[in-house]
Amino acid sequence: MAPLRKAKGDGTPYTRPPEVEAAIARLLGMSRERVLAVCGLNDRRSDDYVPSECILHLLRRAGRDNDQAHLERLFRIFTRRVARAFPVPERSLLGSDAKGLSSVDLAVREFAIDRLTEMLCLDRQGYDDRLDIYEATFDAALKTLRATARRSVGRQRNRLAPLSDDPKAAEPSSDVEDALLRHVPGTEEKIERRDYRRKLLAAIQLLPDEDRRLLMLLSRDIPIHSKDPNVTTVARLIGCGEQTVRNRRDRIHRDLQRLLGLELAR
């Protein structure tokens, strides 16, 4: 397998640990269905557990080989693996029986998945050596990414964002808000900006994971569809047709509008 290209501060190149290279070699000898099955295992105690470094290598390889179907399935496995590394536990709100999720933790998770998705897209177009660190030492690189994400979301205190009218409820990040507003024309003018921002992330939290993932992809400059088979698209990443993506997007927006108590955009 090709060596990594990125160099450390002392000029020496990053390298994969021997056990990772050995695991990759074993995976390359398996059928694709078997590869997907073992990559989907999450119990590190399992003898068949695949290190994240290996999944990333296979994902980069599939992208360069233009193996679109395999790429899409590996991508979904990889992003679920990353999401589990950024848990967002439900917590009790002070002075209330209500439960909420940390808006900061949610924003950090989305930032991390967003950043890695961007790097993978660039890697497919050429070679993004920023991913080399993740192939060499995934957990350490993810720790650095987590710190970067927390700085990016504003160094703010951890707040809870339940779906309520409590004026003390936390507001979602502007990035999440803008991502939705980009696809829901007219919403911003319909309600008070402050109330909208306060409730939006709480409504998004109530969506299924796959719907939140689609919203994130739509907020990037990734096309929904392309006739060019070498172009990474939202439809290919989530494994469905163009019209299905558009229908899901419209349905998600209707669900959010319902949760927020808004009139449907006309």
Q: Give, for all 266 residues of the chain, the pLDDT tens digit.
A: 899 999 999 999 999 999 999 999 999 999 999 999 999 999 999 999 999 999 999 999 988 776 778 888 898 899 999 999 998 887 776 666 777 777 778 888 888 888 888 888 888 878 899 999 999 999 999 999 999 988 887 654 444 344 433 433 334 444 445 545 544 444 444 445 555 655 676 677 667 777 877 887 887 768 888 888 777 788 888 777 888 888 888 888 888 777 766 533 33
Extract the tokens encoding 70: 């395999």
pLDDT at residue 41, rounded to an integer: 95
The whole-angstrom separation of Cα 40 and Cα 193 is 41
Longest dimension (CA), the chain: 59
Q: In terms of DSSP bridges, do strands 99-101 and 90-92 run parallel, antiparallel, or are they unpaired?
A: antiparallel
The pLDDT of residue 202: 65
Q: Which residues pair with 91 in a beta bridge?
A: 100
- Residues forming a β-bridge with 241: none
Find the radius of gyration of the CA atoms of the chain. 20
Instruction: Return the amino acid letter for 195.
Output: D
**Residue 82 host element (H or E):** helix 68-84
pLDDT recorded at residue 35: 96
End-to-end CA distance of the chain: 54
Tokens for 94, please give them. 């002070």
Six-digit token pair at 228? Answer: 């060019």
Q: Residue 241 is encoded by which pair of tokens? A: 């047709």
Q: Is the pTM of this model over 0.85?
A: no
Return the amino acid letter for 211: D
Query: How far apart, in whole angstroms, are the C-alpha atoms of residue 97 and residue 263?
Result: 30
DSSP summary character for residue 129: G
Integer Cα distance of 215 and 165 in angstroms: 24
